[in-house]
Structure 1
Amino acid sequence: MSRIAYFGPQGTFTEQAARTLTVDDELLPVETIPAALAAVRKGEADAACVPVENSVEGPVTATLDGLAEQELLVAVAEALLPVHFTVLARTDGEPIRTVASHPHALAQVRQWLEVNLPDARPVAASSTAAAAVGVRQGEFDAAVTAPVAAEHYPLRVLATEVADVRDARTRFLLLKPPGELPEPTGADRTSIVAAAANRTGTLAELLTELATRGINLTRLDARPTKGNFGEYLFFMDFEGHISEPRIGDALAALRRRCSGLRFLGSHPRADQVAATIQPGAANDDFTGAVDWVAAVRRGELA
């Protein structure tokens, strides 16, 4: 049985995601995203489940920073969850003056709070579940939580299916130390973080390496390097698997252009969307071109 550390405590969306990504594994809640990653790096857990991006609030910067630093961890699977919240309140029926949650969650229910709890003051908590714990301990009057929190905390359910954006989703990664990668499926995602020189056209050059090979970019985020003001790391997700010739060719080109390139994994996409292949950019086109060059070098072709 494997141990899976996840961004807790019990009752977070990350717990729900971890449940979908593992079977009969022990789930280990920890207080922060860095703590989940550290548990794997220290050997205290076999994998970590953490959020990486939200369709409303964008990237989860703690995850991006954690993947760019320290020992390498790679993504082997992902989960995509709809984000509909449950609002839990104290059981004594007292007026609700404070409502707590993770900042990302509060941002996604701002309109609902203005309409339904106009007198309540929003308070940031380290996670949605930590907000529920705070309600239990009397620190807050209500909490915006993941639906699974109602299973763990005996609080009054004030509302369910709460969301300002009905189709909001969050993507989660299952991260492990480097090792055997998942097999390609035809509907895969590859992730990297690139450090490039701070000069005109650098990012355009990196993206061109993907575009000229017909590789579709699915996410691009920039995070500042900690040591040099004005210099950034570029986090990229794109369609395809590193085992494919076209992806391997692109990664080799990016490695030549970048001062640092970190491979963050190739794994099946949760939405099972197949890669878009442009004419002339199929894997057979790349292998055929290599074979042709080899034949020319052997003098077999004019």
Structure 2
Amino acid sequence: MTERRTYSYLGPAGTFTEAALDQVAEARGQDWRPVHNVGEALADVLEGRSHAAMIAIENSIEGGVSTTQDALATLPGLRIIGEYLVRVNFVLVAPHGTKLEDVSVIAAHPVAYAQCHGWLGEHLPNHAHVPAASNVASAIGVLDGSSPAQAAIAPPNIVQHYDVDVLASEIGDNTSAVTRFVLVTRTTMPPDPTGADKTSLIVELPHDHPGALLDMLEQFSTRGINLSLIESRPIGDALGRYRFVIDADGHVADERMADALLGIRRFSPRVVFLGSYPRADRRIVQYPDRYADDVFVEARDWLRALISGEPEA
């Protein structure tokens, strides 16, 4: 019999993280473990309670999720094996019988609340905000009376799990908002390259000097590698010290990517390889012919021939 697997995700049921996990074919029919935060999800993986954890890493409106980026930078033994995109919008929900004019306090996760400022300013300009641990926890608090709020900002599928009235739909300020999630396991071999891959890593610069960041970026640009994400996060040991979270188009098995990582490793005091994995959009990575794998292989063979004294053809 196949051993059952456990997957951790930010719960409770009904969150956007659960919607991302639902996209993982191999996770369906397995055990799903709701947790309270990213740290708990990753601890489940590292301590063997879960095979993998689904965590949010980037939002198209708010940018990188700092708690996730910092955890991945400081917790050894983790590897990203896939990414998943979830369209993000919100509904305003309340217990049965509540009317919009009855609402003066709203419970919401801080990120969700920030993405609904426009609608709230127009329809409930005098409301107060009570932070919640998750988008679903905000609704639970309103329903069970543990929150002083009369209404909550929640995901649209909240109605599939809880008996609430929807006071308003599509209240997010940007209807194109998307959150990117990653599936994280303990360190393992990267999935085979597909041609539509992404490599994530975290890089620290050796010291602060003019051109230090350019030195790092050139490792990618001179090999024809596009960066789809680069964000700085404070290291925390001194003011002005930063690490860089990077998503690069391509796979570590690609010659150009491997060469770039070797270049990064030569000057960076710390490089965290987070993984190479298929892109969620499955878009084939494009690059100039001069950066094809066989060009790198031919160049290395040429150099070996020079060193060994072989006659030039």
Query: Is the Cα–Cα contact under 8 Å of residues 81 and 171 in structure 1 kept in the other structure?
Result: yes
Give secondary structure in 1 for the equivalent of 2:284.
Answer: coil
Q: Which residue of 1 aligns with 2:191?
A: 182
Deviation for aligned residue 1:252? 0.8
1:192 to 198, 201, 204: 201
Which 4+ runs in 1 deviate beyond 4 A?
none
After TM superposition, list the pairs within 5 Å mapping 1:5-84 onto structure 2.
Answer: 5-21=8-24, 22-84=27-89
- Deviation string for 1:233-269 (max 9, x for gaps)? 1110010001111111111110111000110000000
- Percent identity (aligned): 38
Aligned-partner residue type, residue 144 of structure 1? I
Deviation for aligned residue 1:183? 1.1
- Deviation string for 1:202-223 (max 9, x for gaps)? 1111100000000000101111
Tell me if 1:260 matches 2:263: no
1:109 to 106, 111, 116: 116
Q: Which residue of 1 aligns with 2:5?
A: 2
Deviation for aligned residue 1:178? 0.7
Structure 1 residue runs of 5 or longer lacking an equivalent are none
| Inter-partner Cα distance in structure 2 for 1:156 and 1:98 | 16
| Inter-partner Cα distance in structure 2 for 1:284 and 1:82 | 39
Structure 2 residue runs of 5 or longer lacking an equivalent are none
Deviation for aligned residue 1:135? 1.0
- Of the structure 1 ranges 41-50 and 91-100, higher mean CA displacement relative to structure 2 is found in 91-100
Aligned-partner residue type, residue 54 of structure 1? N
Q: Which residue of 2 aligns with 1:150?
A: 159
Give secondary structure in 2 for the equivalent of 1:179.
Answer: coil
Cα RMSD over matched residues?
A: 1.4
1:137 to 135, 144, 147: 144
2:299 to 265, 289, 297: 289
* Residues 301 and 167 of structure 1, relative CA distance in 2, 3 Å threshold: farther
* Residues 244 and 135 of structure 1, relative CA distance in 2, 3 Å threshold: same
Deviation for aligned residue 1:82? 1.1
| Inter-partner Cα distance in structure 2 for 1:301 and 1:6 | 60
Query: Is the Cα–Cα contact under 8 Å of residues 16 and 148 in structure 1 kept in the other structure?
Result: no
Aligned-partner residue type, residue 135 of structure 1? V
TM-score, length basis structure 1: 0.96
Query: Is the Cα–Cα contact under 8 Å of residues 215 and 276 in structure 1 kept in the other structure?
Result: no
Deviation for aligned residue 1:300? 2.9
| Inter-partner Cα distance in structure 1 for 2:18 and 2:157 | 8
| Inter-partner Cα distance in structure 2 for 1:118 and 1:91 | 23
| Inter-partner Cα distance in structure 1 for 2:294 and 2:275 | 23
| Inter-partner Cα distance in structure 2 for 1:178 and 1:301 | 44
| Inter-partner Cα distance in structure 2 for 1:301 and 1:187 | 39
| Inter-partner Cα distance in structure 2 for 1:184 and 1:98 | 49
| Inter-partner Cα distance in structure 2 for 1:255 and 1:63 | 23
TM-score, length basis structure 2: 0.93
| Inter-partner Cα distance in structure 2 for 1:111 and 1:259 | 44
| Inter-partner Cα distance in structure 2 for 1:170 and 1:79 | 8
Aligned-partner residue type, residue 185 of structure 1? T
| Inter-partner Cα distance in structure 2 for 1:72 and 1:129 | 30
* Residues 292 and 50 of structure 1, relative CA distance in 2, 3 Å threshold: same
